[in-house]
Chains A and B, each alone.
Chain A
Amino acid sequence: MKLRVFHQTAYRYDRPVRNLVQSLRLTPSAFEGQRTHDWAIDVSGGARGPGFRDGAGDWIEGWTVRGPTEEVVVTISGRIETRDTAGVLRGHRELIHPLAYLRDTAATRADAGLRDLAALATDAADPLDLAHRLSATVSDAIAYAPGRTAFHTTAAEALEQGEGVCQDHAHALIAVARLRDLPARYVSGYLHSTAEGEAHEAAHAWAELHVQGLGWVGFDPANRCCPDERYVRLGSGLDASDAAPIRGIAAGQGIETLDVAVNVEEVERFQNQSQSQTQS
């Protein structure tokens, strides 16, 4: 699939802020399922800082805005060709040992409810089967309901409530997978919604579970599927906060409001209108 991605996040402050620093995980992963045609990151009024590929294989880019300013706009625009790899993250270069993803964070810490949920997946033929069963269990336990949970909602809370969005599904799946000794991590990215698909925001998140013999395999309990060519993978972490595409902080008393626009559309072909960009 040839996808054009446009993603704009506008931070507005009621009073000017200075020394805004951001760490961006906003560049598509390099693996067999993705080939980036061109990709541009811009932070208004900002200077590009360090850029490097981290141990998880994510391209991280730091930006600083000296200010003072009342508005900072982060704009991503790019084109990428995707391919269905049945969720398997094949050909992805990373250095971190999977066992490092068995560690809990506050967002994924298990409680009695999650332990019960993890125990529901029985009779698994092999680890891959177990992963599928766990994902289905989470889909059944948490109904898609936007606006009922917040960024700080934990897996345990979402399960208790029985409702949530993709972030909550991913956290819950990560929690139950780790309980069953499967390394699991949070993945942030984009999703192109086709006509027949459920209506989701184009900014999306899912989970990856490490399956012996296959490596990392994506599962999207919010959509009851594994990521395919509609998905654009950006990066991963132990939970949503660790995998956040944008982490930033500014000096000053200004109160921040956020405006996000994401658009992922399919295109027939890539015209060579913008310069091709490659990254090491």
Chain B
Amino acid sequence: MSYYNEMYEGSRVREPYARLSQWVETMPADFRQMKQAEAEALFRRIGITFAVYGEGGDPDRLIPFDMMPRVFEQAEWRRLERGIKQRARALNAFLRDVYGRAEIVRAGRIPARLVYQNEAYEKAVVGVVPPRGVYSHIIGIDLVRTAKDQFYVLEDNCRTPSGVSYMLENREIMMRMFPGLFRGNRIEPVDQYPDLLRRTLESVAPAKCQDRPTCVILTPGHFNSAYYEHSFLANLMGVELVEGADLFVDGEFVFMRTTQGPKRVDVIYRRIDDPFLDPLCFRPDSMLGVPGLMDVYRSGGVSICSAPGAGVADDKAIYTFVPEMVRFYLGEEPLLQNVQTWTLWKDDDYRYVMENLPDLVVKEVHGSGGYGMLVGPKSTREEIEAFRAKIEANPGNYIAQPTLALSTCPTFVAEGLAPRHVDLRPYCLCGDRIELVPGGLTRVALREGSLVVNSSQGGGVKDTWVLSE
């Protein structure tokens, strides 16, 4: 398989990377090692760490940071941006629809059972229309590239996509360590993200809110793997970081306990999952949520971002219908392509996948984080057969995709620069407007040849540049 190298075309350096190439060539090896150590020390000092579920070991492990930036030229980014915004509009239209009249189901464009029997479909919010009709306010769309102009959407994250703190920190650290690089290159800023996020949250305050909306971030607590990000964003946005116990329902509203007495809360950016939001509506044993929150939400007293039930749009089975959503709701052709996907509960698909396992990537429908997946071409015969048994036991739990030739980006390894596979997660904000900062989080598979970029599977991160005109 040949891979698109984002920096080199043969031995020629592509235009956007010209200055970076000089930078690398003139960098002495010991200087690079010193800087890498400095970067690590900075990350550690700031406290940006990522605990990995189910792996044990050091819960405060750093995600490896690679100093070699990934670069997009303006025109490339503009194309991506249009595609991402289009997709975000379609996903929210879909959510509005399936919790309302469900025209797309009535029209037979998506199977009813796929929607209504979906675990993420919340019947408790049927008929509830959140402010501005937005259900998913922060959409993380995972993209991979296979050629100069060929991008594919790997998955959508409509609930609470994490990682944006890395996007911000990667830039911050690069600017601190290599200020010269930022003088010589015209790079679009990303540090307006917290302001945009706050503006987005404020724009979806409930109608009952009269003053400037009070927003909070609701975290499950410090034991959560993304706690750092929750506190980081709260800090940058200038809003309170709260846990369930800090909030309470009184009458028709939600309040936050403060040293000055109770303060009404209008918008909750929650980083806890639906089942834990409110023991009076969902799991009765949840200690993380706020009792009565859902009644206040459903009667329009508070906004919850993302809206409960938004997860039904980012399920891996629903994913296959997103291009159809774009056509159905927007009357447009999708600008971003889906990866061809076989759903194993269909007989034909099942047969094809089982016959071609060594060539395919197989994922769990509800899995995430790179767990429980098979990368056929990178697996041994034993691994493939073990996975085959798992599929046979529960075909409905799996989807399969072709193994994509993920693009590579030069990455610092012991011997110098070497190509490593990358993906990209931009963060699209949806409120009264739809916007995104130029860039996103680039994840890189640090192991040579590996196609799995998830941090839980040994992935690292890079600063992502979008060059100005």
Contacts and interface: CB of A to CB of B under 8 A. Distances in A.
30 contacts: A19-B250, A21-B292, A23-B280, A23-B295, A48-B251, A49-B250, A49-B251, A50-B299, A50-B301, A52-B295, A52-B298, A54-B124, A54-B126, A54-B298, A55-B124, A55-B125, A55-B127, A56-B123, A62-B252, A62-B292, A62-B295, A64-B251, A96-B123, A97-B115, A99-B113, A102-B116, A103-B117, A247-B279, A249-B279, A249-B280
Contact of A54 (B127, B291, B292): B127
Contacts of A247: 279-281, 284
Given A21-B291, A55-B128, A62-B299, 10 more contacts: A21-B249, A49-B252, A49-B292, A49-B296, A52-B298, A54-B126, A55-B125, A64-B250, A97-B105, A103-B119
Contacts of B291: 21, 248-249
Given A21-B249, A64-B249, A50 B295 contact: yes
B248 interface: yes
A96 to B, nearest CB: 5
Contacts of A47: 250-251
Most B-side CB within 10 Å, residue of A52, A55, A238, A241: A55
A260 interface: no
Interface of B: 100, 102, 105, 112-113, 115-117, 119, 121, 123-128, 248-252, 279-281, 284, 291-292, 294-296, 298-299, 301
Contacts of A255: none
Q: Select the residue from A23, A50, A60 with max chain B CB neighbours within 10 A.
A: A50
A241 B281 CA distance: 9
Given A21-B249, A60-B298, A99 B126 contact: no
Contacts of A60: 295, 298
Contact of A241 (B121, B284, B301): B284
B296 A50 contact: yes
Interface residues of A, number: 30
A51 interface: yes
A105 to B, nearest CB: 11
Nearest to A50: B299
Interface in A1-60: 19, 21-23, 47-52, 54-56, 60
A56 B127 CA distance: 9
A95 B125 CA distance: 10
Contacts of B292: 21-23, 49, 62, 64
Contacts of A51: 299
A100 interface: yes
A100 B115 CA distance: 8
A62 B119 CA distance: 26
B295 A49 contact: yes
A22 B296 CA distance: 12
A66 interface: yes
Interface string A92-132: 00011101101100000000000000000000000000000
Contacts of A55: 123-128
Max count, chain B CB within 10 A of own CB: residue among A54, A96, A238: A54
Contacts of A96: 123, 126
A62 B126 contact: no
A248 B249 CA distance: 12
B299 A66 contact: no
A100 B98 CA distance: 11
A49 B291 CA distance: 13
A251 B245 CA distance: 10
A52 B294 CA distance: 11
Given A23-B292, A49-B295, A64-B292, A102 B251 contact: no
A100 B123 contact: yes
A92 to B, nearest CB: 14
B296 A66 contact: no
A243 to B, nearest CB: 12
Contacts of B102: 97
A247 B119 CA distance: 22
B116 A99 contact: yes
A66 B124 CA distance: 26
A192 B102 CA distance: 39
Contacts of A66: 250
Nearest to B119: A103
A56 B126 CA distance: 8
A100 B121 CA distance: 8
B295 A100 contact: no
Nearest to A101: B123
Contacts of B279: 247, 249
Contacts of A95: 100, 126-127
A202 to B, nearest CB: 25
Contacts of A62: 249, 252, 292, 295-296, 299
Nearest to B295: A62
B250 A100 contact: no
Nearest to A51: B299
A247 B249 CA distance: 14
A16 B112 CA distance: 49
Interface in A165-202: none
Contacts of B128: 55
A96 B309 CA distance: 13
A49 B249 contact: yes
Nearest to B298: A52
B280 A52 contact: no
A208 to B, nearest CB: 14
A248 B292 CA distance: 8
B310 to A, nearest CB: 16
B117 A102 contact: yes
A19 B257 CA distance: 12
Contact of A52 (B113, B119, B249, B299): B299
Interface string A237-248: 010010000011
A143 to B, nearest CB: 29
